[in-house]
Amino acid sequence: MGRLCSVINCSTRNSNVTPERVTLFSVPKDDYLKSQWINVVCAVNNRETNVKFVCAKHFKTEDIKRTYYGSENLGSEVNNADVE
Q: What residue ranges bind Zn ion (CB under 5 A)?
A: 5, 7, 10, 55, 57
- Cβ closest to Zn ion, residue 34 vs residue 57: 57
At closest approach, how far in Å is the CB of 65 from Zn ion? 18
Dihedral angle of Cα 38, 44, 49, 52, to the nearest 10 degrees = -60
Kindly tell me which of 7 and 74 has the beta carbon lying closer to Zn ion.
7
Rounded Cα distance, 19 and 12, in Å: 6
The distance of closest approach from Cβ of residue 45 to Zn ion in the complex, given in angstroms and rounded to an integer, is 11
